[in-house]
Amino acid sequence: MPTALIVGGTAATGLPIVREVQRRGFDVTIYHRGEHEVPGIETLEHIHGEPHFAETIAHDLDGRRFDLVIATYGRIRLLAEALIGKTGRLITIGGTPVLRRLPGVPGIEADGYVEAPNNLVARMVETEQVVLRAHTDGHYVSTVVRYPYVYGPYSILVPEWHVIQRTRDGRTRWLMPGGGLGLSTRCAAPNAAHLIGLAIEQPEVAGGQVYQAADDRQFTYREWTSMTARLLGYEFEYVDIPWSVLPAPGVGSLSALPGGGGPRAHNLLSNLKAKTDLGYIDTVTPEACMRETLDYLIAHPPVIDGEGNHLKPEEFDYPAEDRLLAWWDTVLASAPTEVGAPITRRHPYPHPQRPGEQREG
């Protein structure tokens, strides 16, 4: 039986990836620090170690070889180098901040890398280049998959809790900057894992390539919020407020934005390359995965202490939200009612009533 090593395996896509790999006949081993475990992988072999440093990776994987490695965690540029001679196939998970923002949406893989990135993004770019260069040099067949915000049980980030908490607290109004029209790509965990499964099946196509994971159907910030509330049997009044007048852009419900939107450009990514090259198609709908995500979060509420990636107590500062809402209500109440005559436009093509008549509109 072919062998597979999954580095990580306990976040949103961990269990779905395990299932995709097992479905293709691999014997799976998990390599992570062992600080978190999820149901469904407890019967697999685990290597508990430290995948963030060259010396610990060398120690943890000493004498081991795997037909396939999927690296979702750790310092992947170090793993990519350490795995030379230890695998014939490497699929790594990266992030979308590396993509250069060009005018228009959606962003495609051919847009290239972001210019003048900060230190973290520079390391992400370097990691992709290391992985792809190893493929070019013939060390193994490698593929890079870029994740956007991935939702599902065990997700590290949980903006959905903003909706759950506000329904529980009886909040009726939701600050919706810019009408909530911001677009930021999301991907259901099973859909992201399915893309990886398709790449496993087609090394001759996926080798040396970069693919972006994304649901086929994307939603605006308001649509996501409305869908989440509806699944909870709740409805909010959404208050449209311009980004330019927000005294604190991250206040309250605005911190539920997982990325993109705001006064910046949309962060919408295309999955067309995955569809064209690999035959990708969603395996679950956003609504079905969101329902499962909400059920999980209700059963396992997140810690709200501001530590690490945890939610912060100030994200639920309702008095601050209410002051902003009250101020905006006064602004709207003082808006002029007469701003000029309405402009009407006629249909631009002629509509003659008789032959030869040149009649407009």
| Confidence grade of residue 348 (pLDDT, cut at 50, 70, 90) | confident
Mean pLDDT over 162-169 rounds to: 96
The answer as to whether 12 is a domain residue is: no
From the list 195, 159, 271, 203, the residue with the least C-alpha distance to 16 is 195
For 50-85, the pLDDT digits (tens) are: 999 999 999 999 999 999 999 999 999 999 999 999
The reported pLDDT for the residue numbered 117 is 76
The reported pLDDT for the residue numbered 360 is 54
The total number of structural domains in the chain stands at: 1
For 278-336, the pLDDT digits (tens) are: 999 999 999 999 999 999 999 999 999 888 888 888 889 899 889 989 999 999 999 99
Beta bridge partners of 173: 237
Classify 187 as helix, strand or coil.
strand
The reported pLDDT for the residue numbered 310 is 86
Residue 317 CA to residue 335 CA, distance in Å, equals 28
Residue 54 CA to residue 341 CA, distance in Å, equals 70
The reported pLDDT for the residue numbered 261 is 47
The reported pLDDT for the residue numbered 116 is 73
CB atoms within 10 A of CB 149: 20
User: 75's torsion region: left (phi>0), alpha (psi -120 to 50) or beta?
Assistant: beta
The answer as to whether 59 is a domain residue is: no
Asked whether the beta carbons of 192 and 147 are under 8 A apart, the reply is: yes
pTM strictly above 0.85? yes
Residue 349 CA to residue 308 CA, distance in Å, equals 61
Residue 320 CA to residue 325 CA, distance in Å, equals 9
* Phi, psi values for residue 92, rounded to 5°: -120, 155
- In the chain, % of residues over pLDDT 90: 71
Residue 16 CA to residue 21 CA, distance in Å, equals 9
The answer as to whether 188 is a domain residue is: yes
Asked which of 157-166, 282-291, 301-310, 343-352 is least confident by mean pLDDT, the reply is: 343-352
Asked whether the beta carbons of 6 and 146 are under 8 A apart, the reply is: no
The reported pLDDT for the residue numbered 353 is 80
Asked whether the beta carbons of 90 and 41 are under 8 A apart, the reply is: no
The answer as to whether 102 is a domain residue is: yes
For 92-134, the pLDDT digits (tens) are: 999 999 999 888 889 999 999 998 777 899 999 999 999 999 9
Asked whether the beta carbons of 195 and 348 are under 8 A apart, the reply is: no
- CB burial readout 87-120, b (16+ within 10 A) else e: bbbbbbbbbbbbbeeeeebbbebeeeebeebeee
The reported pLDDT for the residue numbered 342 is 81
Tokens 């180098």 locate to: 81
Mean pLDDT over 248-277 rounds to: 70
Residue 221 CA to residue 179 CA, distance in Å, equals 9
pLDDT at 251 over 70: no
The answer as to whether 294 is a domain residue is: yes
Mean pLDDT over 256-261 rounds to: 49
The answer as to whether 42 is a domain residue is: no
Asked whether the beta carbons of 98 and 107 are under 8 A apart, the reply is: no
Helix intervals (H) in 232-317: 272-278, 286-299
Classify 308 as helix, strand or coil.
coil
Encoded tokens for 286: 């956003």
Classify 183 as helix, strand or coil.
strand
Encoded tokens for 73: 């965690």
**Angle, alpha carbons 162-165-166 (nearest 5°):** 80
pLDDT at 347 over 80: no
pLDDT at 42 over 60: yes
The reported pLDDT for the residue numbered 259 is 46
pLDDT at 36 over 60: yes
**Angle, alpha carbons 333-338-341 (nearest 5°):** 145
Domain carrying residue 137: 88-329
DSSP-derived secondary structure letter, 347: -
Tokens 């499964």 locate to: 197
The answer as to whether 323 is a domain residue is: yes
User: Which amino acid would we find at residue 258?
Assistant: P
The answer as to whether 58 is a domain residue is: no
The reported pLDDT for the residue numbered 314 is 86
pLDDT at 258 over 50: no
pLDDT at 222 over 60: yes
| Confidence grade of residue 358 (pLDDT, cut at 50, 70, 90) | low
pLDDT averaged over the chain? 91
**Which CATH number fits the domain that encloses residue 191?**
3.40.50.720
